[in-house]
């Protein structure tokens, strides 16, 4: 942890985020001051959370030959085995099912990992929080950053799948970039919200873990919406489905429905405002909950 703190000090932009004790500052601050200190300065301190996020991955796979690519290998084997079995069970052509499963499961892995890890975002950074004044969003961005790095390692699984099943890129493929951006925005505000609630209430973490497990089966990842026939309501009311679809559709060469874009944009806007309001109201209490 000492090395992490030293890395933070080297990466910290001293002209934007002061290295002062966590309890310093005026007794009363306006909402604008808190927003500037917690949100805007959090973005400006990108060197801090990028260093912390990369260090988390490096420490997790220290002395490992393949390093983070163990995740890629294990997920690739899982998708291969699951694709062979479920394509036979659902009587779906593997050339259609394997690409569908590979993209959907990788995006789902990113969303679920951020949700689970965000529950301990402030706890794992408690030593730094008690020593250095940093925006609390730094620890949220740290979680998103390290899981995004893992996502970049695992999305390469789709490359051999696309080559084998001859999925050619189209102009629609470029829509995956704004789609992925909306996914990152949505998981960020969800991570901030869960980090605050799980710090205050320790029961939130196991509840989130259970919900994540249930949502994996309630979301069209291993099964397709077309298999529901006319009963597609279970997918349409599932926001995770729309987040996955705005990335999976373009990767498979199809343009996502307008409904999915509207849901993703609406969630990003409303959720970000709610998370910012929650952070403003609870920022000064978080350190006392650790």
pLDDT at residue 17, rounded to an integer:
42
Residue 23 pLDDT exceeds 90 = no
pLDDT at 130: 86
Contact criterion met (CB below 8 Å) for 194 and 119: yes
- According to DSSP, residue 17 is labeled S
Closest CA to 106 of 79, 68, 82, 67: 79
Residue 248: inside a domain, yes or no?
yes
Domain count, the chain: 1
What pLDDT was estimated at residue 259?
92
Range of the domain at 44: 29-289
Is 60 exceeded by the pLDDT of residue 19?
no
pLDDT digits (tens, 9 = 90+) for 209-252: 999 999 998 898 988 887 766 667 778 889 999 999 999 999 99
What's the CA gap between 174 and 198, in Å, rounded? 37
Residue 24: inside a domain: no
Using alpha carbons, list the distances in angstroms from residue 186 to 102, 148, 239, 240: 21, 13, 10, 10
Q: What is the pLDDT of residue 4?
A: 53
Q: Would you say residue 128 has pLDDT above 90?
A: no
Residue 12 domain flag = no
Nearest-CA neighbor of 237 among 217, 257, 256, 259?
Answer: 259
In a domain, 204, yes or no: yes
| Residue 19: inside a domain | no
Q: Is residue 207 part of a domain?
A: yes
Give the CA radius of gyration of the chain. 20
Is the model's pLDDT at 48 over the cut of 50? yes
Percent of the chain beyond pLDDT 90? 43
Give the mean model confidence (pLDDT) for residues 261-287.
91
Query: Residue 30: pLDDT band by 50, 70, 90 thresholds?
Result: low
Over range 97-114, report the average pLDDT: 94
| pLDDT value of position 54 | 87
Position 148 confidence tier, pLDDT thresholds 50, 70, 90: very high
**What pLDDT shows up at residue 287?**
87
Confirm whether 23 is domain-assigned.
no
């Amino acid at each position: 942890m000492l090395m992490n703190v030293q890395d933070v000090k080297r990466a910290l932009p001293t002209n934007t985020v002061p290295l002062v004790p966590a309890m310093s500052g005026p007794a009363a601050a306006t909402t604008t001051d808190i927003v500037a200190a917690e949100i805007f300065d959090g973005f400006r301190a990108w060197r801090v959370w990028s260093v912390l996020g990369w260090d988390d991955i490096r420490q997790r796979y220290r002395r490992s030959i393949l390093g983070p690519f163990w995740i890629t290998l294990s997920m690739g084997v899982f998708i291969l085995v699951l694709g062979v079995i479920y394509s036979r069970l659902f009587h779906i052509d593997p050339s259609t099912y394997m690409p569908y499963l590979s993209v959907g499961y990788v995006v789902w892995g990113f969303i679920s990992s951020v949700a689970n890890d965000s529950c301990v975002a402030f706890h794992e950074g408690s030593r730094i929080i008690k020593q250095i004044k940093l925006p609390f969003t730094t620890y949220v961005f740290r979680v998103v950053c390290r899981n995004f790095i893992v996502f970049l390692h695992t999305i390469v699984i789709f490359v051999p799948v696309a080559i084998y099943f001859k999925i050619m890129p189209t102009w629609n493929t470029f829509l995956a970039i704004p789609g992925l951006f909306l996914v990152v925005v949505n998981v960020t505000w969800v991570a901030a919200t869960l980090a605050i609630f799980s710090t205050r209430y320790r029961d939130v973490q196991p509840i989130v873990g259970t919900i994540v497990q249930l949502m994996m089966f309630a979301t069209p990842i291993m099964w397709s919406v077309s298999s529901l026939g006319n009963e597609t309501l279970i997918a349409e009311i599932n926001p995770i489905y729309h987040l996955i679809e705005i990335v999976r559709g373009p990767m498979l060469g199809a343009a996502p429905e307008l409904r999915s874009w509207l849901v993703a944009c609406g969630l990003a806007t409303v959720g970000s405002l709610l998370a910012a309001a929650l952070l403003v109201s609870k920022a000064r209490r978080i350190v006392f909950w650790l």
